[in-house]
Chains A and B, each alone.
Chain A
């Protein structure tokens, strides 16, 4: 049983560019949550998707957007990248309301 997978593993972008990160949940999971982890900090909640809808959003600007597909996989899009967007982006999947399991993350560097 494959766990949560994310792609790409690493990404380097320049300020002002746009990026798309992808996440495939564990088999049997229907909920995907995205988190941003800055260096030396705990992960911060970005948003959660269930039934292809954004269910809740953390304190992140509209430059951060997402999507969930019918197969429960998800994308995180970040527009107009800033230096401060450099972080590890983590995807977590769960059955609705249950324990969350995390993928290996995508490390984004903005130059």
Chain B
């Protein structure tokens, strides 16, 4: 099956710093989602981005489907940005869709 790899696995930054999280995938995909998982386990949708670039406030994402990777940018980090960030690729298989997740990047923002 398709492999999804995220890097780095852990990232520790000071408040105000910028960061780039990467997601590589091993095969073509129909779509890609970025999530932030808060300490209580809730997955919060950040971006739904099969290709191109999207921005939402301090966050932006770029997916280059032909090269099988996506990047999540966080600018001017705040302590509330801490948590685990997941990318998940969507594949249509046998008439149904499923998300395949990476292992996540754990981001810690220190005050």
B25 within 8 A of A: no
- Closest-by-CB residue of A relative to B94 is A56
Q: With A56-B93, A99-B33, A99-B48 as known contacts, state yes or no: A45 contacts B43, CB within 8 Å.
A: no
- Closest-by-CB residue of A relative to B38 is A104
Q: Min CB distance, B48 to chain A, in Å?
A: 4
Q: How far is the CA of A33 from the CA of B4 in the complex (A)?
A: 19
A55 within 8 A of B: yes
Q: Min CB distance, A108 to chain B, in Å?
A: 12
Q: Please classify how large the interface on chain A is, using the bins under 10, 10 to 19, 20 to 34, 35 or more.
A: 20 to 34
A48 within 8 A of B: yes
Q: With A99-B33, A102-B43, A107-B41 as known contacts, state yes or no: A55 contacts B96, CB within 8 Å.
A: yes
- Which chain A residues lie closer than 8 Å to B97 at the CB level? 48, 56, 94, 97
- Which chain B residues lie closer than 8 Å to A48 at the CB level? 96-98
Q: Which stretch, B13-21, B70-78, B101-109, touches the partner chain A?
A: B101-109
- Closest-by-CB residue of A relative to B6 is A42
B12 within 8 A of A: no
B-side residues, CB < 8 A to A, are 4, 31, 33, 35, 40-43, 45, 48, 86, 88, 92-104
Q: How far is the CA of A104 from the CA of B4 in the complex (A)?
A: 23
Render A37-66 as a binary contact track against B, CB cut-off 8 A, 1 for contact.
100011111001010000110100000000
17 contacts between A and B (CB under 8 A): A33-B99, A35-B99, A35-B101, A37-B41, A42-B4, A42-B104, A43-B43, A43-B86, A50-B96, A56-B97, A99-B45, A99-B48, A100-B33, A104-B41, A105-B41, A105-B42, A107-B41
Cβ < 8 Å to B, chain A residues 53-111: 55-56, 58, 88, 90, 92, 94, 97, 99-102, 104-105, 107
